[in-house]
Amino acid sequence: MKIGIIVSQADPETVWNAFRFGVFSLAKKHSVKAFLIGKGVDCEDIEDERFNVKEQLAAFLREGGSLFACGTCLKSRRKEGSAVCPLSTMEELMNIVEESDKVVSF
């Protein structure tokens, strides 16, 4: 199954669970693409003792998940794309929605 995950929050627990779900889905042999939008583009900067977002994000990428970040949202925060959060567009978000069998939003 092709799964799309949309992350629009920067709450540590929410983002941690989004990527935990992505890692779990990849382990079940599903194809998973995640798109960060709005506050979600800040996920790389989340530091939290209870919810290790960076660890889950790294596992998501290591296990074969694809990650995209809204370029407009990054630019509005004076950020550039990175290896973890590559600069992307609404076109890519639309592609994810159109090609996914299921889309989950966090």
- In this prediction, residue 81 carries a pLDDT of 79
Q: What residues make up the domain containing 15?
A: 2-105
CATH at residue 41 = 3.40.1260.10
Q: State how far Cα 28 lies from the chain centre.
A: 18
Distance (Å, rounded) from C-alpha 34 to C-alpha 41? 11
Q: Where are the alpha helices (DSSP H) in 8-48?
A: 12-27
Check residue 6 and give its pLDDT: 98
Evaluate if pTM is beyond 0.85.
yes
Secondary element (H or E) of residue 100: none
Q: Residue 84: is its pLDDT beyond 80?
A: no
Number of domains in the chain: 1
Structure-token match 């989340």, residue found: 46
- What would you report as the CA-atom Rg of the chain, rounded to the nearest whole angstrom? 12
